[in-house]
Structure 1
Amino acid sequence: MTRAGLENLTAIPSVRESVLASDVELPTSSAPAPWRTKIDAAFWWHRASADAASMLPPALRSLGVIPVTLVAFVRYRETPVGAYSEVFASPVLLRKWPVPPIHIPFMAVDSLTSVHGGRSNWALPKTLASFEWGGAAVTATGDGWKMSAEARASTPKFPMAGGLKTLQLFDGEPRAAWVGMHGRARLGRVTASAEGPTLSRWLTPGRHPALLISDATMSVGAPR
């Protein structure tokens, strides 16, 4: 059994784009939670599509949902497992108070050690992808899917502090983890697109409001 209590790291609930290929050999270990990291990131959001809530595992749908989809590209400059790139998406907010958590059925990175760490520590369904960064634009390409985003800031930088809560399933048991961030940010817009067997159904293309974070510290706590 893994340290998170998971019997099988490849059986974490996810959308099809996050399923690990059968020939992927994960490392046998990675840094345990919590993780303290340095990041640059673009977070954006939009009203959830009609299909979005169906991307949740059945065990979480009974909580009720708030129809907001959250998406992000993240560039990790420093982590306990080295630098890497990441993209993730949460289809809806969960109606659970006082902080509505997100469930993440899609996440991809370009580091095998990060795949192991995400799956073993937080039941995050990380899979592998390649990333191309060019100024304010980024594209991630995986097995049968592709996502692109280009950010444009509309305000000067300002101090930012906050966070979000994730809710993932550990062999059917929901556990929450707090993700705290502080650094500098700007408001802006992201022009995004997504292709894939499910991503194209619940990630709306076009221009969306965004929070653009630079040179920030992010701490990801152990799930409880």
Structure 2
Amino acid sequence: MSTRLPLLTSDELVRLQSAPESVLTPALARRLPASAPLAPWRCTFSGFAWVQRSGPAVRAVLPAPFRRGALGRWLVAAFVHYEDSPVGPYSELLAAVLVRERSRLSLHTPFMAVDSLPSLRAGRANWALPKTLAEFEDGLGRSGVWGAAADGWSVDARARAHGPRLPMRATMQGVQVRPDRTISRHRATISGSARIARVEVDVAARESQLGWMPSGRHLGLQWSHASLTMSASFDGTR
């Protein structure tokens, strides 16, 4: 039977393993709120996700338990604006690596950026997701270009949707490693309507940053006012 895992402590938040771009500095940690809303979370969002090959440096951002199960260096990435969440509206950029953990296809997220300090704390405390802080252009305005930037890196993307909206529902398991080396699992369920999209991504970074997420044109899905449910983290024992 699965056991719900406790929230990470303030000290543990800064010790999460992540890509270098997602490291939580002590100065940023001191700006975080004192607490976070507990999972499960239910949110409404608009945005798009795409699938791409990673750069060869992706192995370096994976925790040891997931390196052997990495599936050909495939990434699932997304730009999302949450219209409603337990911490209010915010924007997010994520990149997750497809891995096989316990013979199950899962997503490990070494990098996630948001523009909300409450979301940053909640993501780290609830799910061991290594959120960092960035500035965003959510792309819902006239330009249609989504962007996120922080010290040393920037990512811009535009999605061009094709065809009709189709009802879709998908559940994926996320897997993270906590500071005590416990593997944390959670389930994310998306439901709503989506369109097939071509996504153009432009990544600009110092040589040492985001080299595992190259620029390119990719196939994806565009979502509008969809719902997301994030379960609490559990240890996966049976």
Instruction: Tell me the TM-score normalised to structure 2 length.
Output: 0.87
Report deviation, 1:5. Answer: 4.3
* Alpha-carbon offset, residue 112 of structure 1: 0.4
1:22 deviates by 3.1
User: Once superposed, what is the RMSD of the aligned Cα atoms?
Assistant: 1.8
SS in 2 for 1:26: coil
User: Contact (CA 8 Å) 1:4, 1:170: kept in 2 or not?
Assistant: no
Give the TM-score taking structure 1 as reference length. Answer: 0.92
C-alpha displacement of 1:98: 5.7
Structure 2: distance between partners of 1:202 and 1:170: 22
Match of 2:196 in 1: 187
* Cα distance change on mapping 1:98 and 1:182 into 2, 3 Å: farther
* Amino acid paired to 2:137: E
> Which of 208, 226, 229 is the equivalent residue of 1:219?
229
Report deviation, 1:9.
0.6
Which amino acid letter does the alignment assign opposite residue 34 of structure 2?
T
How far, CA to CA, are the matches of 1:72 and 1:127 in structure 2? 15
Which runs of 5 or more residues in structure 2 are unaligned? none
Match of 2:171 in 1: 163
Determine if contact 2:14/2:25 at 8 Å carries over to the other structure: no
- Number of corresponding residues: 222
Find the counterpart in structure 1 of residue 23 from structure 2.
19
Q: What secondary structure does 2:176 align onto? A: strand
Q: What is the match of residue 155 of structure 2?
A: 147
Alignment partner of 1:104 is 2:109 = yes
5+ residue gaps, structure 1:
none
Distance in 2 between residues matched to 1:16 and 1:67, nearest whole Å: 18
Partner of 2:51: 45
**What do residues 46-65 of structure 1 show as CA deviations (whole Å, max 9, x unaligned)?**
12332222220123224343
- For the residue of structure 1 that corresponds to 2:224, the secondary structure is strand
Contact 1:18–1:105 at 8 Å: present in 2 too?
yes
**C-alpha distance in structure 2 between counterparts of 1:69 and 1:140, whole Å:** 18
